[in-house]
Structure 1
Amino acid sequence: MSISSVLGSAFGLLAIMASAIAWAGPAMAQEAAMDLEPVVVTAEKRQTTLQDVPASISVFSEADIKDARIQTIQDLSRLTPNMYIANWGIRGTSYVFVRGVGSINNEPAIGYYVDDVGYMDARAFDANLFDIERIEVLRGPQGALYGRNSLAGVINIITKKPDNQTRAGAELTAGNYNNYQAGAHVAAPLVEDKLFLRMAGYFETRDGYTENDFLDQDVDHHQSFNGRAQMRWTPSDKLDISANIEGESVDDGAFPLGRLADLQRNPHHVAYDHEGKYKRDAFGPSLRVVYDAPWFQLTSITAYRDFDDSAANDQDFTIYPLITAYEDIADRQFTQELRFASPESDSALKWLVGLYGFNKDKTHHLNLNFAPDLLLPGMSVDRDTDSDLTTNGMAVFGQTTYTLFKKLDLTVGLRYDYENNDIHHVLSMSSGEMNLGSNKVDASENNGAWLPKFQVAYHWTPRLMTYAGVARGYRSGGFNTAYADESDIRFDPEYSWNYEVGLKTAWFENRLIVNAALFYIDLQDQQVVQLLPSADTAIRNAGQSRSMGMELELRALLCQGLTLDAGFGYTDAEYTDYRDPLAGADYSGNKAVLAPEYTYNLALEYRRGISAAWDAFLRAELNGVGPFYWNDANTLKQDPYQLVNLSLGFEREAFDLVLWARNLFDENYEAVAFEFPGSDPVGQSGDPLTFGATVRVRF
C-alpha cells in the first residue's frame, strides 16, 4: 500500500466522520480559547516551559496519552521522530534506538526514568504505562544531568500526584484477540492540605497474534498486572515528601519467531516444537523529598528496584528438538540522588549541583540444551553459564545558565561518572551426569568519564528562540559472559559527541508551534554486538560511526476543536570504521543497524459538542517508518511501511466511550529480523489489525 493511498484513505475517513459529527447538531459546548496551552516540562530537572528548553524534546500530556492510546514505549516510539524500538520476541528484549544510537544486549543507550527514578536494565523498560501525567522524550546525550547510558537520550515519565481534590475512576477495554484491559485509580486527601493518597492499578490479558502451527497454539499471548501507590505529606508550604511503591507481574507467551521468508509469505504463522514463556516480577519503593530553603531548593530521591525475569524458548525455531534455552535474571538496584538548585525566580543566574550514587547486583543463569550429535556424537549437551555482576558507582554534576541582556542564555554543564564492576562467572558443560569441563572468570573493571555540555540560546522574541550546543555521551563498559577468546571477556566504554542547532517558534497568537533541530553525532569505541557460532552474542569495541539528521515537530490549532500534530525525523547513520573478525568482514561505510532513514507521524483530531451534555471526538493517525537494515552486513533490509490508527469517542462529564482501531489496513511488516551464522534469517511479524472499545467512568 502506497503512502498516497494510505493518506487518502485515512483522511478521507476523517473528512466523512468529521462531517457526520458536525451534522449531528450545533455545538453546545462553551467556546474554548483559540490558542495552544503552554507545555510545562522538567526535562532539565527544573520546571520550565517546553518552548524555553534549548533541546529537541517530544512531550505527551495526559490528554495526548489518553487520545493516542499510549500504553507502552512501543506506542510512544510511533509518535516520536527519530525513535525506533525493535522487539526480539519478549517484552524484556525491546531495544530502543534514537537518532541511530541504541543497544542490543549491552547497556542501554537511553535513560529511562519514572518520577526521577532510573531503571538501569533495559529489560524493565517495556512495561504498561498507566496513571501518567506526562511523558518527555529527550533526544541526544544527556550526560551532564543524567550521566551514564544516556548518550541517545532520556525517556522521562511523570505519574499523577495526589492533592486536595478527591478523584476516582475506572477504565474497561474489550477488543479482538480476546483483549481485555481494566484500570482503576483513587486519590483523596487524608488530612486536608497535609496528607494525600493515590492508588492505581492496571490489568491486561489477550491472546497471541501469532499461531504456532506445529503445536497448534498461539505464541505471544499477554497477561500482566501493574500497581502503584503514593503517599504525599506536606507538613509546610516549604516541604513536600512523597513515598511511592509500585509493582508488576508479567506472564506472557514468548518468541513468535520463525523463518523470515515464511513469515513474509504467511505473516503471524510459525512452526517450532518447544513452547516459549516469559515471566517478570518487579517491585520498587522510593522516597522523594523536596525542601524550599530561602536560597536554594533541595531534592532527594532514594529508590530501590528489584526485578526477576525468566524466559524459555526454542533456540533453533524449527520443528526439530535441536536447541532449547532457559534464562533467569535477578536484578537489584539501589540509587540515591541529592540535588541543590537555585530557587524559582527572575534572576539572570540559574544553577543546579548534585550528587548521585548507586549499587546494582545482577545474577544471570542461562542453560542451552543441545540435542544429540549437535556438539558431540550421540550425546546431548547442557551448557550452563552463571554470572554475578556487581556494579557500584557515583557521580557529581552541575549545570548553570546565565542570561545576558534578557535574551542570551549561556549554559555550561559538567558531570563526572565513576563506576566499578566485579564479575564472577562460571561456564560448565555436561551430558547427563558426565562433567565435560568448566571455565571460571573473576574480573574487576573501573570506568570513569567527564561529561561536559556547552549551550547557547538566543530569544529573538518571546515566541522565537534559536540555540546551539555540544554535549558528550558515555556508555559503560563491561564483561562478556560468552566469548570466542579471552580477549573478549572485557569491553570498554563507548563515547559520543553530539552537535546540535535548533529553533523553537510559536506563530499566529500561539495557535501554531513549530520546533526543529539539526544534529551530528560522532561515536567512538562503539560497542557492537556480534553473533558467535554458538548462537550467543559478544560485545566488542569494534566500531566507530557517525549519525546526522534532523527533527521537525509542529502542533497547530486549525480551527475551533480541530488540532494537527505532526513530526518528521531524518537520520543518516553509518559506520566509519568497523571490522568483524568473526565474520571476516569490513563493514566500514555500511549503514548502522536499526536506524530508519526517516520516521513520521501525522494526527488530526476533531472535538466538539454535539449536545448540552455530550462531546464527540475523532482522531486519525498516520505513522511511518523508512527503510533500514537489521544487520551490520546490510543484507537484511526492512522496507518502508506506514500504519493508520483511528479513534472515535463520545464524552461527557463522568463517562467516555471510545471505539478504536490500530493498523487499520492490516499492514504487514517485520518487528525484528536477524540471522545466526550458517542459518536462514529469522524474524517476527509486526502487530496486525487490532480494534476494540474502551469505557471510562469518573466519580
Structure 2
Amino acid sequence: MKRTTMLMAGAAVTALSAPALAEEAAPANAGSPAEEIIVTGEKSSRTLQETVTSVAVVTTQRIKDENLITIQDVYNRTANLSETYGSTGFTIRGINNNGVGSGGNAATATVYIDGAPIPSRALYGGPTDLWDVQQVEVLRGPQSTIQGLNALAGGVVITTKDPSTTTWGGDARVQWTEHNDRTFSAAIGGPLIQDELGLRLSAERRADRGIIKNVTRDEYNDELKALNLRGKLKWTPQAVPDLTAVLSYNRVRRDGGYVYEYTRTDTEDFYDNRIAKGNRESEGNIDSDIAVLNLSYDLSGPLTLSSVTSWNKVDVRSVVDTDGTPEDLQNIANFYHYKTLTQEVRLNYDGDRLSGVLGAWYYRRKGDTEANSNLTMNTPTGTISNLLFNSGLMSEEAAQQLSNAYAAQLPAIPLHYESDAPEKVETMAIFADGRFHVTDRFSILGGFRFDHEKNRYTAETLAAFTGTLPAPNALGDAYAPVVSVINQGVLGLVADASSARASNSRTFDAFLPKMGISMDWTPDLTTSFTVQRAYRSGGSSQNPARAELIPYDPEYSWNYEASLRSQWLDGRLTLNANAFYMEWKDQQVTAYFSGGQYDYNTVNAGESHLYGFEVEATGELNSVFDLYASVGHVRTKFDDFILPDNSTTTDDLTDTQFPYAPRWTLAGGMNAHFDNGIIANLNASYRSKVFTGIGSDQSNFAVGGRTVVNAKIGYEMEHWSIFGFARNLFDEEYKQYTFASRNQSILGKPQTFGIGMEMHW
C-alpha cells in the first residue's frame, strides 16, 4: 500500500510540474467544468450531482483511458466493490451478490444490460464485457424501491452505445498480450433513414490461450474463446416526433475454462509457474441471447411515458475436476437454463417543484439447474464408532479402532450424484420515487414499492454408490458381521443423499418505503439524508435427507444514509461522499439437523449490521492532466445467530464478519493527454484482507490485502491510436482464495504487458 501511495503522489507531482509547452498550448476553455454525467439507474435522468444514491459511474472515456475489458475490471477499481471467488460474483458494501449466509435462492444485487437483468450464473463472461459500452453505473446501497427484485445490496447498470441517426461512423480495436490473449473488436453505425432510423452493429472476438497449464492433459485449463455480437436500431419517426424506439439484440457465445481455476501451490514458484493436474476437462460455457425494446414518448411538457421490455435466455455448462489430481476421483458438472421476461411501464414528471417517476413492473423467470457429478465423501469414522459403541457391540476404544481400520479399507465413499431443480419466479410491483422542492434549497425525498412475488421450486436428487465395499472378512472373520453392518450404514448414508421429487409454492408481499430530505446550501454544495427499507424474497430449500422442500421467509433491512455532493474550483474538482448504516434481520442461512450430512436446509437465523462510507473525487489540473481517487470503508458483523431448537449446527456466526467484505478499498489514477498526441494513464487499486469463508473459524480462510497498479501509454491522432499497456505492473502476488488442504489456490492475475491499436471514423 505504501508503494501505491508513493506512486500516486509521484504522479501528482509530475502532473503539477507539466511542461510549460503544454500550459501554453491549452485551449481557451481549459479548466472549464467537465460534461455532466447523467445517471439512469434510478429510472430518472438526473445528473450525478443531483443523485442522492451512492453511485460510481464509469464512462466511455474511462473505459478507454484505463483499457477496461470486463466488468471484473470495474469491480476491482471501485470503492466498496470487490470481486469474490474468481469471477463468480461481487460484493457491494461487503454484501455478496448471492447472499452472505450460504442460504436462499434470490440474489442481493443484480446486473442489468440495457434494462435486462442478467442471471448471476452468467456474470463471469460474455454479456458483461465492456466493448461498445456507453456507461457503467454501480449503485451502492439498497435499490429495492426502484429496482425491486434482488437489489438489497445494490445494482450494476450497463448501458451500451445507441445508434446515430445523423452520421455514419465506426470503431475498431486490436489487442494482444504476452500471454497470447488476443481481442478483436469492431463497431459501425449510422442512419438507414436520415434523422429517423439508425443502426449500430458491434462485435468482439476474444481468444485467450490461458496461463494455467494442465500438465496431465497437456492443455491450458483457462483457455477462452468468446464471441459477443450486438445489434441496435434506433427509430425517431418524423410522423411521431415525440416517440423514440430502441431495439437491441445481444448474442454471446463463451467457450472456455470453468468459472474459476485453481493453481497448484505445492510446486516451486507457483505464481510464475501456474499448473493444474486434474484429469478431466474444465468447462465454463455460456450461451446467452438478450433482446430489449425501449420506447419513450414525450406526452407534453414535463411528462414522459416509457416502456422497457426485455427477454433473455441463458444456458450455462460448468464442469470442473474438483479433486485436482490425475486420478478420476471427483468432478462436478452443473447445467443452468434460464429464461427471463420483464415488462416495465414508467411515467416520468420533471416540473419546477416536483420531479419523479411512477411505474409498474412485471418479472418472470423460469429456470432449471441440473447436476451430473461424481463425488467422494470422507468415510465418517466418528459416526461409525459412535454407532458401534452406542449399540453396545463393543467398548468406545474398540469401536474407534475398528472404525479406523474400516476407513483404511475404504478411506473415501465414491458416489454418482444427479439432481434436477426447476424453478419459476413471478413478480409484479408498483413503485414511485420523487423529489419535491419545498423551497429553492430544501427538498423532501420519498418513494415506495409494493412488491408481490410468487415462486415455485422443485427438486429431485439421486445418489448411487460407485465404489467397492470392503469384504465382510476384510478385518478378520470375527468382525465379519460388524463390517457387514457398517457396509449397510455406508449405503444408507449414500441413500440419504437421494430425495424424491418435491415441489413447493410460496407467495410474498412486501411494502418498501423510502423517505429523506435534501439541502442545497449553494449551487455547488448539497447534503442529503435518506431512510429506506429493502428485502430479499423467501422461497423453499431442499432438505435431501428428508426428501422435502422446507419454506423460509424473506430477509429485511433498514438503511440509513447521508450524502454529500460538492464541486469546487469552478467545477474542476468534484468531491462526493456517502456514509451509511444498515440493520439486517431474518437472514437466510444453512442449518443442519439430526447430525446427518444431508439433513440440511435454509432457515431464517441471522441478524447483522454494517456501516461505512465512500468518498470519490475527480479533478482537472489543467488541459493535460486529470486525477481521480476513491476510498471505501465498511465494517460488517453478525449480531445474532438463533437456530431452530432441533438444529445440530455448531458453528455460531455471532460476532463474525461477512465473507469477501474488505474493510478498505482504495483506488486512484491519473490521465495525461498532451497536444502532441501522447496519451498516458496510471491507476492503482488496493483491497484489504478478506475472509473467503463464513463461520467462527473464518480466520483460517483469510487472504491478505493486495495492491495492483496498471498503466497505459500511447500515441493518439484524430482517427487512430496505438498504445502499450501493463496490468499488475509491479507483479503483485496475491490469492483470491486458498484451499490449503488440497494445495490449491485461485491466484490473482499476473503481470501482463500488451499492445493495442484503435481506429475511429
* Length-normalised TM-score, structure 1: 0.91
Q: Contact 1:209–1:688 (CA<8 Å) still a contact in 2? A: no
Counterpart of 2:146 in 1: which secondary structure? helix
Aligned equivalent of 1:336: 343
Are 2:461 and 1:422 equivalent residues in the alignment? Answer: no
1:85: how far off?
Answer: 1.5
Are 2:252 and 1:254 equivalent residues in the alignment? Answer: no
1:643: how far off?
Answer: 0.4
Corresponding letter in the other structure for 2:324:
F
1:193: how far off?
Answer: 1.5
Q: Structure 2 vs 1, CA of residues 460 and 537 (structure 1 numbering), >3 Å: closer, same or farther?
A: farther
Are 2:613 and 1:550 equivalent residues in the alignment? Answer: yes
Aligned equivalent of 2:32: 35
Are 2:303 and 1:242 equivalent residues in the alignment? Answer: no
Aligned equivalent of 1:137: 138
Q: Which moved more, 1:531-540 or 1:385-394?
A: 531-540
Are 2:300 and 1:294 equivalent residues in the alignment? Answer: yes
Q: Which of 413, 420, 437 lines up with 1:386 in the alignment?
A: 420
1:123: how far off?
Answer: 3.0
Q: Which runs of structure 2 are paired with 1:212-361 in the superposition (5 Å)?
A: 212-235=214-237, 236-254=240-258, 257-258=261-262, 262=266, 266-267=270-271, 268-294=274-300, 296-342=303-349, 344-345=350-351, 347-361=352-366
Q: Contact 2:264–2:275 (CA<8 Å) still a contact in 1? A: no
Counterpart of 1:517 in 2: which secondary structure? strand
Counterpart of 1:585 in 2: which secondary structure? coil
Are 2:75 and 1:77 equivalent residues in the alignment? Answer: yes
Equivalent-residue separation in structure 1 for 2:69 and 2:377 (angstroms): 44
* Length-normalised TM-score, structure 2: 0.84
1:97: how far off?
Answer: 3.4
Q: Structure 2 vs 1, CA of residues 252 and 31 (structure 1 numbering), >3 Å: closer, same or farther?
A: farther
1:147: how far off?
Answer: 0.4
Corresponding letter in the other structure for 2:138:
V
**How many residue pairs were aligned?**
684
Equivalent-residue separation in structure 1 for 2:599 and 2:25 (angstroms): 63
1:136: how far off?
Answer: 1.1
1:408: how far off?
Answer: 1.1
Aligned equivalent of 2:44: 46
Aligned equivalent of 1:671: 736
Deviation per CA, 1:77-107: give whole Å up to 9, x if none: 122100111134xx5x234433445425742
Counterpart of 2:657 in 1: which secondary structure? coil
Q: Contact 1:322–1:374 (CA<8 Å) still a contact in 2? A: no
Equivalent-residue separation in structure 2 for 1:309 and 1:272 (angstroms): 21
Q: Contact 1:263–1:684 (CA<8 Å) still a contact in 2? A: no
Q: Contact 1:209–1:687 (CA<8 Å) still a contact in 2? A: no
Corresponding letter in the other structure for 1:368:
S
Counterpart of 2:84 in 1: which secondary structure? strand
1:119: how far off?
Answer: 2.1
Counterpart of 1:66 in 2: which secondary structure? helix
Q: Which of 651, 655, 666 lines up with 1:589 in the alignment?
A: 655
Equivalent-residue separation in structure 2 for 1:488 and 1:422 (angstroms): 10
1:681: how far off?
Answer: 7.7
1:379: how far off?
Answer: 8.5
Aligned equivalent of 1:651: 716
Q: Which runs of structure 2 are paired with 1:92-131 in the superposition (5 Å)?
A: 93-103=88-98, 106-124=105-123, 126=125, 127-131=128-132
1:321: how far off?
Answer: 2.2
Equivalent-residue separation in structure 1 for 2:727 and 2:378 (angstroms): 46
Corresponding letter in the other structure for 2:309:
T
Q: Structure 2 vs 1, CA of residues 528 and 270 (structure 1 numbering), >3 Å: closer, same or farther?
A: farther
Q: Contact 2:109–2:153 (CA<8 Å) still a contact in 1? A: yes
Q: Contact 1:483–1:489 (CA<8 Å) still a contact in 2? A: no
Q: Contact 1:260–1:684 (CA<8 Å) still a contact in 2? A: no
Counterpart of 2:236 in 1: which secondary structure? strand
1:60: how far off?
Answer: 1.4
Are 2:462 and 1:462 equivalent residues in the alignment? Answer: no
Equivalent-residue separation in structure 2 for 1:54 and 1:255 (angstroms): 35
Counterpart of 1:266 in 2: which secondary structure? coil
Q: Which runs of structure 2 are paired with 1:528-677 in the superposition (5 Å)?
A: 528=589, 539-578=602-641, 584-610=650-676, 615-632=677-694, 633=696, 634-635=698-699, 636-673=701-738
Q: Contact 1:254–1:277 (CA<8 Å) still a contact in 2? A: yes
**Unaligned 5+ residue runs, structure 1?**
none
Q: Contact 1:502–1:517 (CA<8 Å) still a contact in 2? A: yes
Aligned equivalent of 2:750: 688
Q: Which moved more, 1:365-374 or 1:287-296?
A: 365-374
Counterpart of 1:595 in 2: which secondary structure? coil
1:363: how far off?
Answer: 0.9
Q: Structure 2 vs 1, CA of residues 432 and 495 (structure 1 numbering), >3 Å: closer, same or farther?
A: same
1:449: how far off?
Answer: 1.1
Q: Which moved more, 1:76-85 or 1:571-580?
A: 571-580
Q: Structure 2 vs 1, CA of residues 659 and 29 (structure 1 numbering), >3 Å: closer, same or farther?
A: farther
Deviation per CA, 1:327-377: give whole Å up to 9, x if none: 1111001110011111x44x2011321111121110111012136997997
Equivalent-residue separation in structure 2 for 1:366 and 1:259 (angstroms): 24
Deviation per CA, 1:294-352: give whole Å up to 9, x if none: 2621100111100100011112233432221111111001110011111x44x201132
Q: Contact 2:226–2:255 (CA<8 Å) still a contact in 1? A: yes
Q: Which has the higher strand share?
A: 1
Q: Contact 1:11–1:620 (CA<8 Å) still a contact in 2? A: no
Q: Contact 1:107–1:122 (CA<8 Å) still a contact in 2? A: no
Q: Structure 2 vs 1, CA of residues 243 and 256 (structure 1 numbering), >3 Å: closer, same or farther?
A: closer
Corresponding letter in the other structure for 1:284:
I
Q: Contact 2:91–2:661 (CA<8 Å) still a contact in 1? A: no
Q: Which moved more, 1:128-137 or 1:370-379?
A: 370-379
Corresponding letter in the other structure for 2:706:
Y
Q: Contact 1:579–1:588 (CA<8 Å) still a contact in 2? A: no
Corresponding letter in the other structure for 2:249:
I
**Unaligned 5+ residue runs, structure 2?**
381-408, 468-490
Counterpart of 1:480 in 2: which secondary structure? strand
Q: Contact 1:100–1:596 (CA<8 Å) still a contact in 2? A: no
Bigger radius of gyration? 2
Q: Contact 2:226–2:252 (CA<8 Å) still a contact in 1? A: yes
Aligned equivalent of 2:395: none
1:124: how far off?
Answer: 3.4
Equivalent-residue separation in structure 2 for 1:535 and 1:565 (angstroms): 51
Q: Which moved more, 1:447-456 or 1:473-482?
A: 473-482
Equivalent-residue separation in structure 2 for 1:602 and 1:220 (angstroms): 30
Q: Contact 2:282–2:320 (CA<8 Å) still a contact in 1? A: yes
1:665: how far off?
Answer: 1.1
Equivalent-residue separation in structure 2 for 1:15 and 1:262 (angstroms): 44
Counterpart of 1:559 in 2: which secondary structure? coil
Corresponding letter in the other structure for 1:448:
D
Deviation per CA, 1:247-283: give whole Å up to 9, x if none: 1000011266448864896233333332211101000
Aligned equivalent of 1:506: 567
Corresponding letter in the other structure for 1:489:
I
1:24: how far off?
Answer: 9.4
Corresponding letter in the other structure for 1:75:
D
Are 2:66 and 1:68 equivalent residues in the alignment? Answer: yes
RMSD over equivalenced CA pairs, Å: 3.0
Q: Which of 500, 503, 513 lines up with 1:452 in the alignment?
A: 513
Aligned equivalent of 2:482: none
Equivalent-residue separation in structure 2 for 1:695 and 1:155 (angstroms): 29
